[in-house]
A and B are shown apart, each in its own frame.
Chain A
Amino acid sequence: MNKKIKNILVLNTAVLSFISFWRAGSIVLCDFASSAYYAGGIAAKAYGPAFPYFILAVMILSGFLLMTYIESSSIFTRGGVYMTVKTSMGKSMAKFSVSALVFDYLLTAPISAVSAGLYLAYLLEIIFPYLKIGWNINPRGVAVIFSLIMIAYFWRENIKGVKESSENNLRIIIFTGVVALLLLVLSVYTVTKIGFKWPEFRLEFNKESLGWTSYFSFLKPVGLIGIIMAMGHSILALSGLETLAQVYREIEDPKIKNLKKAVVFIFISALIFTGFLTFLSAVIIPYDKIISSYSENLLSGLAMELSIPYAARVVMKTLVVISALLILVGAVNTAIVGANGILNRVAEDGILPDSIRKLHPKYGTTYKIITLIAVLQAIIVILSGGDVFLLGEAYAFGVLMSLTFNLLSLIFLRFKKSMEPREWIFPLNIKSGRYEIPVGLIILFLIIFSLFLMNLLTKKIATISGITFSVVLYIIFTYSEKKQSHEIDLHDIEGEVDDEKVNIATENDILNIFKDFKKTERILVPVRNPNNLTHLKSVLETANDDNTDIIVLYIKVEKGYEYSSDYENLTNDEKDLFRKVILLAEKYGKTIHPLIIFSNDPIYIIVYTAFYGRVNKIVMGVSGRMGAEAQLEELAITWGMIKPKDFNGKIEIDIIWESRTLSYTLT
């Protein structure tokens, strides 16, 4: 290795590779579409034969809600309900929204795992007689055991630090899509055989589903009130939308355009899968049979009621169960990962005792937090006794609270950040001065808020547990803030670049780093000051990600013989620099290759890396110490030291600052 180079670190992180809208949509659908397996049955039991209409209505509503995430993503690359709420309404409200998120995650695993367990149990009920196994299946018992096994399995995987893969999500969605298409085609075929009959539009609430409203005579479940109640019981079909905000930062350039495509893909898939299949279930299966036999595994029931030979029905049911296991079990892992991420941030801010952040001696993961989450989820499973209806009731609380906060925040942001450029805004606005009055958003908010309020009254257990949990968590945040006598910044709670997420590889020389670069163009972008990344932004705005590798180089100046050349010993300012670099890359959806070189001669390293890396262009910010012209002089001088006499290529240099560029070509 060149003696001026003391060490080279290459940062590899999943964050720096960007995904297509198909993959982004698949990630969201693995969460969002999983509700297709249980939402219909829960709604049917809650309010009667009219359930397919309301599930369909909720799916149509999901399209509008997905659109709101396009607007919020155009403001925040790393968005999500916490960021949106904090910016618009302040930290106090944001703390409540964090509680809703944690509550949501803690319930996602149990409801998904229990539902998957129920599907499996009902399949075993059919298969065991063929296998001459005389076991008496208790579906809920099987669901509880299955859920505990799944939670234990993913507890172990997360302790080991095994990462989720968007490749797997895509495969699951493709498989599920094929099964759904098959089910759809066979359902349509069945309808042609048995004749189409609209499901009865009759609302029939029971004592549980009315909740506290039965004590108020003016809240009779008829007319508009009845519709709101029914919609409220169907709203858990919307779980998983928040994932879109999380996945936006990984979407490739052009980001908003690809986000829109993802939204269309998600909406159509969910409408068909959850909306139409639930509707067809109600068309094909008599309501009474849904309640008596299929409320806990509606899509399996649909498979068993198709007008095809029995053996084929069993095969179809098996396929449905496999798809259910894949998608629902995936949601269990997502929930553990999500809750771990949030509680980690919370613990880092001193809210939980420091001892709980202790890293596993072998795997380096926050095993105590992961274990806490898994234990809480397991307790919820056991307390539910495998009752997916009970879980569904509680689950809707977190879903609606998040949606309510998100919509209200977007409305506030229209006024608070009216000058902030937005690539897209939710439609139906009235221009008034410099404001766009968000009529569309307000209407949507009123719909969701009315559902939220109604759900507070109709879902007793959800209201009591959800509010208690939120208040307790809020008190913990506030108490800890006071105790530490400084403000806790939950700013990065929904994901930040930190040591854990950044994989470091050490290279012996520059050539090794570049050997895997296949694109035709290469741009080297030296960075130093986290507040001076105008030049990097300029590159990210204009570079073509398909044919250009962008290498972001930080040179850590280490003088003398003693040096600490590893990532752990970077200062907080230096880590902040990389955090901002990665945030910028995410904002533009362009892949970058961050590199840290430890050396005592930065200019030499820049030119050396450019030459040996066969870089076409160097784009730098201006140095406060010397100015752009002096910078070019140093580069020119160093170029003479390095370039071979027979060099016949060229390296362009741009020094960019504010709106100026100074250019030169090394030849």
Chain B
Amino acid sequence: MTEEKHITIGDILDCKNIIIERKGFKDLKSLIDFAVSKISPFLPERFTPENIKERLEVTNLDYSVFENGLFIPHLKLEDLDDFKSILIITPNPVKDNRIKHSIFITFMFFSPLSSDFFDKHLKILSSITQSFRDNIPKLISMNSPSEICSYIKSIR
């Protein structure tokens, strides 16, 4: 695999896909349902929300929730030509019996299922955890998606 330039989450996240959901969600399933409903219009037609949710269930979702409140549900999809992502901020954290930690930030993303994109896929994963490593309290205190977007785009 060849080395690529440094990738940030700002490179794959459209500001229109940043959502602050202050009501929160009663459980993990509700969060997933919501996130999938928001992102599925950007995916190829053959991927229905149910289809996506089924696929996500097969992955070990509990391994994607981190101590600092970050949740990274992700999949590799065939027929996808580029990365698709959505960021959901839940100042009222999501709790569930299935997971060890509460969720404040959900970064859901989908990568093309192709060996050409795998390297970049891994770099994005690193970039996500690094970007949200220490600043979740700051993010959940922000008032608008545009404020969050500016902040994220500034992360290098």
Contact = CB atoms under 8 A, between A and B. Distances in A.
**Does B bind A?**
yes
Given A633-B125, A634-B63, A636-B125, A667 B3 contact: yes
B126 A629 contact: no
A665 B128 contact: no
A20 B131 CA distance: 50
B130 interface: yes
Interface of A: 626, 629, 632-634, 636-641, 643, 645, 663-667
B1 A641 contact: no
6 contacts: A633-B122, A637-B128, A637-B129, A643-B130, A645-B130, A667-B123
B119 interface: yes
Interface in B82-99: none
B122 A641 contact: no
Given A629-B118, A664-B1, A667-B3, A641 B133 contact: yes
B72 interface: yes
A633 B125 CA distance: 7
B66 interface: yes
Nearest to A667: B3
List of 10 A-B pairs having minimum Cβ-Cβ separation, nearest first: A640-B129, A640-B130, A640-B126, A636-B122, A636-B125, A636-B126, A637-B125, A639-B126, A641-B129, A637-B129
A634 B129 CA distance: 11
A645 to B, nearest CB: 7
A645 B127 CA distance: 10
A640 B125 contact: yes
Given A629-B118, A640-B133, A641-B66, A665 B125 contact: no
Interface string B66-84: 1000001000000000000
Interface in B106-156: 118-119, 121-123, 125-131, 133
B117 to A, nearest CB: 12
Contacts of B130: 639-641, 643, 645
B128 A632 contact: no
Interface residues of B, number: 20
Contacts of B72: 637
A644 to B, nearest CB: 9
Most chain-B CB neighbours within 10 Å: which of A640, A645, A664, A666?
Answer: A640
Main secondary structure of the interface of B (DSSP, over half): helix
Contacts of B60: 626
B2 to A, nearest CB: 10
A633 B129 CA distance: 12
Interface string B1-19: 1010010000000000000
Nearest to B132: A640
B40 to A, nearest CB: 22
Interface of B: 1, 3, 6, 60, 63, 66, 72, 118-119, 121-123, 125-131, 133
Contacts of B121: 633
Given A634-B63, A664-B1, A665-B1, A640 B118 contact: no
Most chain-A CB neighbours within 10 Å: which of B1, B63, B126, B128?
Answer: B126
Contact of A665 (B3, B66, B131): B3
B65 to A, nearest CB: 11
Contacts of B122: 632-633, 636, 664
B86 to A, nearest CB: 18
A640 B134 CA distance: 11
A640 B127 contact: yes
Main secondary structure of the interface of A (DSSP, over half): helix
Nearest to A666: B126
Contacts of B123: 636, 667
A667 B2 CA distance: 12
B119 A638 contact: no
Contacts of B3: 665, 667
Given A641-B66, A664-B122, A665-B1, 7 more contacts: A626-B60, A633-B125, A637-B128, A640-B127, A640-B129, A663-B1, A667-B123
Contacts of B119: 664
Contacts of B127: 640
Contacts of B133: 640-641
A666 B119 CA distance: 10
Nearest to A640: B129
Contacts of A663: 1
A643 B128 CA distance: 12
Most chain-B CB neighbours within 10 Å: which of A629, A633, A665?
Answer: A633
A637 to B, nearest CB: 5
A641 B3 CA distance: 20
A263 B60 CA distance: 57
A639 B131 CA distance: 12
A664 B126 CA distance: 12
Nearest to B63: A634
A666 B6 CA distance: 11
Given A633-B122, A664-B119, A664-B122, A638 B1 contact: no
Contacts of A638: 129
Contacts of A641: 66, 129-130, 133
Contacts of A666: 126
Nearest to A641: B129
B140 to A, nearest CB: 19
Contacts of A664: 1, 119, 122
Most chain-A CB neighbours within 10 Å: which of B3, B66, B121, B130?
Answer: B130
Nearest to A632: B122
A641 B126 CA distance: 8
A633 B75 CA distance: 11
Nearest to A629: B118
A665 B6 CA distance: 12
Contacts of B63: 634
A637 B133 CA distance: 11
A110 B115 CA distance: 70
Contacts of B131: 640
A629 B75 CA distance: 12
Contacts of A629: 118
A666 B66 CA distance: 20
Contacts of B66: 641
A663 B119 CA distance: 9
A664 B125 CA distance: 13
B53 to A, nearest CB: 19
A364 to B, nearest CB: 42
Contacts of A632: 122
A640 B155 CA distance: 13
B101 to A, nearest CB: 13
A29 to B, nearest CB: 52
A120 to B, nearest CB: 71
Contacts of A634: 63
A663 B121 CA distance: 14
